[in-house]
Amino acid sequence: MRLAGKRVVVTGGARGIGAAMVRTFAAEGAVVAVLDRLAEEAGKLAAEVGGHAVEVDLADVAATRQATTTAIDALGGIDVLVNNAGILRFASLLDLEPHEWDEVFAVNVRAMLVTTQVAVTAMVAQRAPSFPGEVVGKVVNTASMGGKAGGAGQAHYAASKAAVIGLTRATAEELGPLGITATCLCPGYVLTEMGAGTRTAADVARWATKSPLGRLGEPEDVARVALFLASSDSDYLTGDALNVAGGMVTH
C-alpha cells in the first residue's frame, strides 16, 4: 500500500495510460479523482475504484480551474497531481496551421500549468514542510519520448512534449523550496486509443524493434513507474524526465 491515504488527481484518467494509473494507484491505497472529458467512462472507472470523476474539457482554462477545485474538494485535499491527459495530432510541418498548434498546446501544456497552479496552491495551504527537504506534495506529468526524439509529421506534438519537460523542470526548481516535487514520464510506444486510426500492423512491428526488449509498452508499464513517482519512494527525485520506453532512444 504505497499510496495509503493519499489523495490523487489524474487528468485524462478515463482511458489508456491514465486509466491504468487510476487502477494502480487505487490498488495501492489512494483515493483518486479522474478529470476527463469522457464523463461516462470516467464515472464508471471512478465507481470501480471508489473514487470520483469530474467532467472537463482541459482546453478550457476556466473550466479546468473549476474542475481541479471540485476534484480537490471531493477528495478533501490533494497530495499528488498527475497531469496525464494529452492529444496527438498529425500535420506536415510546412502545412501546420497556428490553430492546430494552439489546440495541441492548450491540452498538452497549458492545462498542466492551470491544474498545477490550483493543486499546488492547495498542497501548500494544507501543510508547510516541517523540516528542509520534506515533501508535502507531488506533481507527475506525462510527456513523451517525442519530446526528446522529435517526430516527423507531429511537430506540434513533439514541441508540446518538450515543453512539458521544461515545465516540469521549472516547477521543480520554483516549488521545491515549498516541499513540492515535479517529475515527468516519457513513454515510448503504448497501444491505446491515441493514434489508433493511423497506425498499421507494419508500424507496430517496426516500433517493437526499437526496444532492446523487443516489445511495445503496456499502459501498466507506465502506470507502475508513475506509482513510484507518486509515492514517497521517489522523494529525492525532482525535475527529471524518466523514459518509460523499454530502452528505446529514438523513434
- 155 forms part of the interface with ligand NAD (CB under 6 A): no
- The one catalytic residue among 157, 182, 217, 242: 157
| Closer of 55 and 73 to ligand NAD (Cβ) | 55
- 187 forms part of the interface with ligand NAD (CB under 6 A): yes
Separation CA 109–CA 63 (nearest Å) = 16
Separation CA 31–CA 3 (nearest Å) = 9
Shortest spacing between CB 28 and ligand NAD, in angstroms: 19
| Closer of 138 and 156 to ligand NAD (Cβ) | 156
- 193 forms part of the interface with ligand NAD (CB under 6 A): yes
- 156 forms part of the interface with ligand NAD (CB under 6 A): no
Q: Which of 2, 27, 38, 77 binds ligand NAD (CB under 6 A)?
A: 38
Separation CA 158–CA 168 (nearest Å) = 15
Q: In 96-193, which ranges are continuous DSSP H helix?
A: 98-105, 111-126, 146-149, 155-175
Dihedral Cα 58, 62, 67, 70, nearest 10 deg: 170
DSSP state of 218: P
Active site residue 236: no
Choose one: 8-16, 93-101, 129-137, 198-206; the region binding ligand NAD (CB under 6 A).
Answer: 8-16
- 86 forms part of the interface with ligand NAD (CB under 6 A): yes
| Closer of 84 and 238 to ligand NAD (Cβ) | 84
Q: What is the DSSP string of 12-36?
A: T-SSHHHHHHHHHHHHTT-EEEEEE
Find the helix or strand (DSSP H, E) in which 66 lies: helix 61-75
Active site residues: 157
What residue ranges bind ligand NAD (CB under 6 A)? 12, 14-18, 36-38, 56-59, 84-87, 107, 142, 144, 187, 189-190, 192-194
